[in-house]
């Protein structure tokens, strides 16, 4: 469906997209993941022909975007980061205009109404776009991308700035669209990618750092088991006791949670060491206040992959995810 | 291209810009018609056309300032540029829409010719010559101002720069007369819009060279506007 080969984009001397290549098959849904400023939007703008890459080619359904732009663009529905809406038009006028602009051959009125039903904007169709809420504007943008049933949908952060209810609605909508379209979706919200996409492409500083299914990505990093424990008692004694347990590879004590209670990050080989920990600590009378496993999820992978390479040590692959998770949730649902 | 023409025209009349432009233009043209023709008992519309030339110089920037600047600011150019249409038809669609409004507004002067013809035989060659000249010079200024609008995100900057261009067009002859080097002053005269406006059309002569001069200016600046978008894609 779409094939991207070695694209590079420079802004002045700064490189924004550095030798990115990937292909998306028909019916696949690809998640584009990366921190802000990683080059996601730039890449999407290149795919849609809004800007040109300095090197490399983008081929959409057999048509190269620079050589046969009109044929290639007619295969794409694009929702940019900021939906391109004319605020002083009504939804109907706007969609009529986009319909004419894209030179679509379907019957106009029924096609537009069908799409409005699909994205649930039929009840605001005669209102001015500037009076709509952000969620509705986003949907009008999506409706615009869906006009003409393009084979390929490119959605740049479709849920950013929406409230949690709207996010769920848009996500469900995208899942529905999956049936008829090939979709490329970008986001810095990880659960979104995890729940929608077949395949994840992690991009950082203009480079692709991972390209795999969400499951594979987390499986690769889950060879070791991590535990987080809050244990009451003297830190030194606890550390000494625990390090006697064979299966444990590494223990790190972190901050004091409440008086006399410390938190420990425990790395062990995959055998469950919880009962050993319990027995050993019972012997020295240090009660376990809390004990939980930390599973590696996309957030850890993301943080790992997007870290500067020089900071990346093998040990880091198993850091606990608590802090990162809460930060991301805040960031994502803001 | 038609889609863009339609959208632009409707956006002029969705906002007040279209109405304000037409009202001001019709107001001034009515005043000039009354003052220079009816009131002074002459069938010549030359004075009115002369007056209108200055008016359009300062009204056209109102029409063109938001053409591309606002699209860029509100990121709606992304919809245009990722749609399966060529850059040429986007730019031409915009250009034609302004041209149509402009043509509609100056057409009222033909009505004045008809009114005059009730009183005495009107000099249609001169009236048509003036009309075509006003249209051509307007079309050239629209092309230049559209190019200016495509280079900036701010419609105020576009408007101010366009006003400067208009002022330059009006003052150009006076300025060239200050140049004492014969060779340079000849060149400057050659590119002066007003040199091609007065003297021929206004006495009813349709000079092919002048027509081609204005058409080349239009083509040149439409081409420049397309280049602005091409360049932006690559930078």
User: At residue A328, does pLDDT exceed 80?
Assistant: no
User: At residue A295, does pLDDT exceed 70?
Assistant: no
Question: Are B79 and A82 an interchain contact pair (Cβ–Cβ within 8 Å)?
Answer: no
For the stretch B96-139, pLDDT in tens is: 999 999 999 999 999 999 999 998 888 888 999 999 999 999 99
Of B2, B14, B82, the CB nearest to A48: B82
What pLDDT was estimated at residue A219? Answer: 65
Distance from the Cα of B227 to chain A's closest Cα (Å) equals: 14
Question: Are B80 and A97 an interchain contact pair (Cβ–Cβ within 8 Å)?
Answer: no
Nearest Cα to Cα of residue A169 among A202, A121, A206, A131: A121
B231 at A interface, C-beta within 8 A: no
Question: Are A93 and B74 an interchain contact pair (Cβ–Cβ within 8 Å)?
Answer: no
Interface of A with B in 241-300 (CB under 8 A): none
Question: Are B10 and A103 an interchain contact pair (Cβ–Cβ within 8 Å)?
Answer: no
Average pLDDT, chain A: 82
A176 at B interface, C-beta within 8 A: no
Question: Are B82 and A93 an interchain contact pair (Cβ–Cβ within 8 Å)?
Answer: no
For the stretch A229-257, pLDDT in tens is: 888 888 888 888 888 887 787 888 877 87
Interface test with B, best of A86, A95, A130 (most B CBs within 10 A): A86
Sequence length of chain B is 235
B14 at A interface, C-beta within 8 A: yes
B15 at A interface, C-beta within 8 A: yes
DSSP A90: B
B11 at A interface, C-beta within 8 A: yes
Interval B26-32 mean pLDDT: 94
> How far is residue A95's CA from residue A141's CA, in Å, rounded to a whole number?
9
For the stretch A202-227, pLDDT in tens is: 888 888 888 888 777 766 655 556 78
**Range from A155-169, A318-332, B2-16, B212-226 carrying the lowest mean pLDDT:** A318-332
- First and final C-alpha spacing in chain B: 26
Between A219 and B79, where is the model more confident?
B79
3-state SS, residue B148: helix
> How far is residue B217's CA from residue B64's CA, in Å, rounded to a whole number?
16
B226 at A interface, C-beta within 8 A: no
Question: Are A74 and B11 an interchain contact pair (Cβ–Cβ within 8 Å)?
Answer: no
A104 at B interface, C-beta within 8 A: no
Q: Is A27 left (phi over 0), alpha (psi -120 to 50) or beta?
A: left
What pLDDT was estimated at residue A325? Answer: 40
> How far is residue A14's CA from residue B31's CA, in Å, rounded to a whole number?
58
B78 at A interface, C-beta within 8 A: yes
* Model-level ipTM above the cut of 0.90: no
Interface of B with A in 118-177 (CB under 8 A): none
Find all residues with CB under 8 Å of B10, minimum gap 6, and list them.
Answer: A89, A93
3-state SS, residue A200: strand
User: At residue A178, does pLDDT exceed 80?
Assistant: yes
Q: Enumerate the domain spans of chain B.
A: 2-234
Question: Are B83 and A73 an interchain contact pair (Cβ–Cβ within 8 Å)?
Answer: yes
pTM score: 0.82
Interface test with A, best of B12, B67, B79, B230 (most A CBs within 10 A): B79
> How far is residue A140's CA from residue A118's CA, in Å, rounded to a whole number?
11
User: At residue A300, does pLDDT exceed 70?
Assistant: no
* Residue contacts between A and B (CB atoms, under 8 Å): 77
A130 at B interface, C-beta within 8 A: no
- Provide the token pair at A58: 């983008």
Question: Are B3 and A100 an interchain contact pair (Cβ–Cβ within 8 Å)?
Answer: yes
Q: Tell me the helices (H) and strands (E) count for chain A, helix number first.
A: 12, 14
């Amino acid at each position: 469906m779409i094939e991207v080969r070695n694209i590079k984009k420079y802004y002045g001397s700064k490189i924004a997209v550095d030798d990115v290549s990937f292909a998306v098959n028909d019916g696949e849904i690809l998640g584009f993941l990366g921190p802000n400023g990683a080059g996601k939007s730039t890449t999407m703008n290149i795919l849609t022909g809004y800007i040109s890459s300095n090197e490399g080619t983008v081929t959409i359904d057999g048509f190269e975007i620079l050589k046969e732009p009109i044929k290639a663009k007619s295969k794409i529905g694009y929702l940019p980061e900021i939906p391109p809406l004319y605020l002083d038009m009504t939804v109907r006028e706007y969609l009529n205009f986009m319909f004419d602009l894209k030179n679509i051959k379907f019957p106009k009125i029924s096609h537009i109404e069908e799409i409005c039903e699909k994205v649930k904007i039929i009840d605001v169709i005669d209102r001015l776009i500037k009076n709509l809420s952000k969620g509705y504007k986003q949907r009008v943008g999506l409706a615009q991308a869906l006009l003409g049933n393009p084979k390929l949908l490119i959605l740049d952060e479709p849920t950013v700035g929406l409230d949690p209810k709207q996010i769920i609605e848009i996500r469900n909508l995208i899942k529905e669209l999956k049936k008829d379209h090939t979709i490329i979706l970008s986001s810095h919200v990880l659960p979104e990618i995890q729940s929608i996409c077949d395949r994840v492409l992690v991009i950082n500083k203009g480079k692709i750092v991972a390209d795999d299914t969400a499951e594979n990505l987390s499986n690769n990093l889950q060879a070791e088991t991590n535990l987080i424990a809050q244990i009451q008692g003297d830190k030194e004694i606890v550390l000494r006791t625990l390090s006697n347990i064979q299966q444990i590879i590494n223990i790190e004590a972190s901050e004091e949670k409440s008086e006399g209670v410390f938190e420990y990050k425990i790395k062990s080989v995959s055998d469950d060491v919880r009962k050993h920990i319990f027995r050993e600590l019972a012997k020295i009378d240090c009660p376990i206040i809390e004990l939980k496993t930390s599973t590696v999820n996309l957030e850890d992978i993301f943080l790992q992959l997007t870290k500067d390479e020089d900071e990346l040590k093998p040990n880091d692959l198993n850091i606990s995810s608590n802090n990162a998770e809460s930060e991301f949730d805040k960031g994502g649902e803001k | 291209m038609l889609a863009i023409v339609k959208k632009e025209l409707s956006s002029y009349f969705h906002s007040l810009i279209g109405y304000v432009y037409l009202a001001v233009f019709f107001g001034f043209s009515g005043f000039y018609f009354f003052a220079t023709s009816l009131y002074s008992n002459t069938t010549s519309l030359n004075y009115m056309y002369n007056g209108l030339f200055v008016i359009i110089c300062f009204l056209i920037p109102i029409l063109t300032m938001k053409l591309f600047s606002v699209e860029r600011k509100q990121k709606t150019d992304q919809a245009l540029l990722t749609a399966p249409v060529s850059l040429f038809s986007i730019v031409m669609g915009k250009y034609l829409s302004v041209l149509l409004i402009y043509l509609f507004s100056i057409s009222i002067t033909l009505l004045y010719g008809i009114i005059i013809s009730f009183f005495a035989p009107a000099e249609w060659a001169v009236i048509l010559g003036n009309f075509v000249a006003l249209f051509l010079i307007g079309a050239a200024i629209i092309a230049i101002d559209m190019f200016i609008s495509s280079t900036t995100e701010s419609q105020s900057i576009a408007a101010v720069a366009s006003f400067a261009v208009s002022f330059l067009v009006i003052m150009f002859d006076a300025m060239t007369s200050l140049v004492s080097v014969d060779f340079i002053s000849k060149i400057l005269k050659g590119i002066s819009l007003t040199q091609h406006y007065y003297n021929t059309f206004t006495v009813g002569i349709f000079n092919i060279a002048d027509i081609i001069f204005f058409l080349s200016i239009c083509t040149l600046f439409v081409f420049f506007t397309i280049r602005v978008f091409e360049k932006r894609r690559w930078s």
